Amino acid sequence: MIRLQNIEKVYRTDTVETLALNKVSLEIAKGEFLSIMGPSGCGKSTLLNIMGLLDEPSKGEVKIDNQKTDNLSDKLLAQFRNKKIGFIFQSYHLINDLQVLDNVELPLLYRSTTAKERKQLATEALVKVGLSNRVKHFPSQLSGGQKQRVAIARAIVGQPEIILADEPTGNLDSAMGNEIMDILLQLNKNDGTTIVMVTHDENMAHKTHRLVRLFDGSQVQ
């Protein structure tokens, strides 16, 4: 499903060159639930961003669904992300000015759907994460766990084949974290969604199919 080959990422400033990722190669199968662990600053999020086509590698190749992604235009990249990938972020990244339902509808705005379809799909996604009674609320009226559920609903509303989650339980207490993890496991099991999750939590990581460890930008496990 996702194939990374010799990925390197170098951050350059005027005086310093930092190697964030060093020849990382990884193949993730369809339907797999993979977790990535490692100390802060080891390049986990950078790797996830490259997989999600949010960032470009300095060297190496990213293939998704056997399709090369380098040289895709801004418009095609946007379409690709829209159809194939759903993101979940540690700090939720909900749009505070929009109600829950509008937040969840967001990915559908960028494809040809009617308002009615959008509403229906968004409601279904919210039912899946157990938040169907909060559609008219604004993010500021929700708890951390509820916000993350909205974020999951937003990630799955477009029925992407891949979900990339960057420390989805990082800001939550363990009970909430477990609830969110359960939802992700269900998605993987029931819908066959491929999930890649960055985490600091060993317990969470051990619930997934496979664990990859990074250290100083290199893959160590």
We find the least distance from the C-beta atom of residue 90 to another protein, in angstroms, to be: 10
Q: What's the closest the beta carbon of residue 146 comes to another protein, in angstroms?
A: 18
> Applying CB under 8 A, does 123 fall inside the site for another protein?
no
If the CB atoms of residues 46 and 174 are measured against another protein, the closer one turns out to be: 46
Choose between 37 and 164: whose C-beta lies nearer to another protein.
164
Give the range of 25-33, 47-55, 125-133, 184-192 binding another protein by CB under 8 A: 47-55
Question: What residues numbered 131-170 form the site for another protein, per CB under 8 A?
Answer: 154, 158
Give CA angle at 201 (141, 211), nearest 5°.
125
Total of residues contacting another protein (CB under 8 A): 31
Binding mask 55-94 for another protein (x = CB under 8 A): x------------------xx-xxx-xxx--xx-x-x-xx
Residue 148 neighbours by CB distance under 10 Å: 29
Q: Decide: is 110 part of the binding site for another protein (CB under 8 A).
A: yes
Q: Is 127 in the site for another protein (CB under 8 A)?
A: no
Stretch in the footprint of another protein (CB under 8 A) among 98-106, 124-132, 185-193, 205-213: 98-106
Q: Which is nearer to another protein, 56 or 202 (CB)?
A: 56
Sequence-distant (≥ 6) Cβ neighbours of residue 148 within 8 angstroms:
88, 92, 168, 169, 171, 172, 176, 180
Q: Is residue 119 a contact residue for another protein (CB under 8 A)?
A: no
Write the secondary structure of the chain as one string of H (helix), E (strand) and C (coil): CEEEEEEEEEEECCCCEEEEEEEEEEEECCCCEEEEECCCCCCHHHHHHHHCCCCCCCEEEEEECCEECCCCCHHHHHHHHHHHEEEECCCCCCCCCCCHHHHHHHHHHCCCCCHHHHHHHHHHHHHHCCCHHHCCCCHHHCCHHHHHHHHHHHHHCCCCCEEEEECCCCCCCHHHHHHHHHHHHHHHHHHCCEEEEECCCHHHHHCCCEEEEEECCEECC
Binding test (CB under 8 A) with another protein, winner from 35, 49, 169, 199: 49
Q: Candidates 65, 97, 117, 191: give the one binding another protein (CB under 8 A).
A: 97
**Which positions lie near another protein, rule CB under 8 A?**
49, 52, 54-55, 74-75, 77-79, 81-83, 86-87, 89, 91, 93-95, 97-98, 102, 105-107, 109-111, 115, 154, 158
